[in-house]
Amino acid sequence: MRFIRAAQGVSGRSQTLFAITRCLPFLVLAAVLGIELSPAHTLYTGPLLSPAPALAAVTMGPVGTGGVAVLAGVVSAITAIHNDAWGTPQLYTNLLALLVVAVASVATCAVRVRRDRELAHVRRIAEVSQNVVLRPLPARMGVVNTASVYLAAERGAQIGGDLYEAMCTRYGVRLIVGDVRGKGLAAVRSAAAVVGAFREAVHYEQDLAEVMHRCAAALAREDELLDRSQLQDPRELEEQFVTVLLAQVVTDDSLVRLINRGHPPPLVMHEGEVRSLDPARPLPPLGLEEFLGPPAIGVETFPFLPGDRLLLHTDGVIEARNDYDEFFPLQRAMETLDCATPSEYLDGLRHALVRHTEGRLTDDAAMVLIERDTGGADRPFR
């Protein structure tokens, strides 16, 4: 829980800094007014009024910035009358400087606000598009409890290629986690093609390897149909591939079945100890069959006992760095957390990741956590 408290502390410090910055113009005006009206003032503070609108433009809108500029003009007039400086060249110079800074600050602020609104609108569109690939998972599926989280990198309005899905089928609970190399339209279309094929195939293909073949075929068809003229840089498609991890949990055994094609291996927690489920024979990602040939896909099995937790994630999690260029210690964070439910546990990991990077992710990050129910051995799949 210390990761959660630390992340909340970072957020609290940001809010405090924002509040101080917003109050700074008024503190400057109050300081100038207090010094100038003091009987013993010896410091001429007129030039200090000019930066007030610029300071206000950092955290306020055009109206607020203009209001600070008007207030600064009023303070300048009051101090000039009090000190018998009305009509002097110095007063006119200060007012002219204040006017220039005020006009520039209001104009700059108006442009910033307009761009922020446009960016927010594009981000909402991107979020809707991303939700097609990253639908929220239900809390309960068959004999497992599930939770998921997705963190978008701070890259403007670009949409990432992370993908995940979990389906409850007659063959068990089947999951997919993947990551498309690249960003933008091509990455989203590739991710949607792979997820769409998975959602269809898991209900009809008994063999998990056939599900992977269906995903690979869907990606190949999408690459053939994609209009390269729609891409900002068509050359990016030539280097695009998808790392994919498939997992399956059934009712009548305590195993998890995995197929890993170039994706970071999942982590399983058993009795407080975390270990990586590395594949015995690494397989290439989807989309490289043209260069490496179709691989012979085999399903690998690992123990997955009641009470165990399995974390599937993208490389944006383990490759997240802090200011010291250190990777996020995912396994250590998993062993440190002690939360009752998968949702709380995954939320703790999210806070730990945000704390490690101080909210500055360089790549999208997705995590899916499943916990085998200790009392669900006789519970059938729906």
Residues 181 and 251 in one domain: yes
Residues 115 and 144 in one domain: no
What is the C-alpha separation between 294 and 287, in angstroms, rounded? 10
Q: Residue 292 has what pLDDT?
A: 67
Which residues lie below 8 Å from residue 328, measured CB to CB, with a gap of 6+?
317, 318, 319, 320, 321, 322, 352, 353, 356, 357
Q: Residue 45 has what pLDDT?
A: 66
Beta sheet of 162-169, edge-to-edge order: 162-169, 172-180, 242-249, 255-261, 300-303
Per-residue pLDDT reduced to its tens digit, 354-379: 999 988 888 889 999 999 988 644 44
User: Which of 94, 125, 156 is the C-terminal boundary of a domain?
Assistant: 125
| Residue 280, amino acid | A
Residues 147 and 60 in one domain: no
Q: Residue 173 has what pLDDT?
A: 96
Residues 37 and 146 in one domain: no
User: Which of 125, 151, 168 is the C-terminal boundary of a domain?
Assistant: 125
Q: Is residue 14, in this structure, part of any structural domain at all?
A: yes
CATH of the domain at 340: 3.60.40.10
Beta partners for residue 141, in sequence order: 144
Q: Is residue 377, in this structure, part of any structural domain at all?
A: no
Given a contact cutoff of 8 angstroms between Cβ atoms, the answer to whether 342 and 370 are in contact is yes
Residues 116 and 152 in one domain: no
DSSP-derived pairing of the beta strands 144-151 and 255-261: unpaired
Q: Residue 360 has what pLDDT?
A: 86
pTM of the model: 0.68
Q: Is residue 335, in this structure, part of any structural domain at all?
A: yes
Question: How far from each other are the two terminal CA atoms of the chain, in whole angstroms?
Answer: 35
Q: How many domains does the chain have?
A: 2
Closest CA relative to residue 95, chosen from 73, 63, 71: 73
Q: Residue 177 has what pLDDT?
A: 97
Residues 311 and 365 in one domain: yes
Residues 91 and 183 in one domain: no
Residues 16 and 52 in one domain: yes
Q: Is residue 379, in this structure, part of any structural domain at all?
A: no
Q: How far is CA 141 from the centre of its chain?
A: 26
Q: Is residue 378, in this structure, part of any structural domain at all?
A: no
Q: Residue 252 has what pLDDT?
A: 86
Query: Which of the residues in the chain have pLDDT under 50?
Result: 1-10, 156-158, 376-382
User: Which of 100, 125, 150 is the C-terminal boundary of a domain?
Assistant: 125
Residues 61 and 155 in one domain: no
Q: Is residue 171, in this structure, part of any structural domain at all?
A: yes
Find the Cα–Cα–Cα–Cα dihedral 306, 347, 260, 252, rounded to 10°: 20
Q: Is residue 380, in this structure, part of any structural domain at all?
A: no
What is the C-alpha separation between 144 and 148, in angstroms, rounded? 13
Q: At 326, list the tokens.
A: 């250190």
Q: Residue 12 has what pLDDT?
A: 57
Residues 90 and 159 in one domain: no
Residues 307 and 181 in one domain: yes
What is the C-alpha separation between 252 and 342, in angstroms, rounded? 22
Structural domain of 102? 2-125
φ, ψ at 237 (rounded to 5°): -65, -30
Q: Is residue 255, in this structure, part of any structural domain at all?
A: yes
Given a contact cutoff of 8 angstroms between Cβ atoms, the answer to whether 48 and 94 are in contact is no
Residues 221 and 262 in one domain: yes
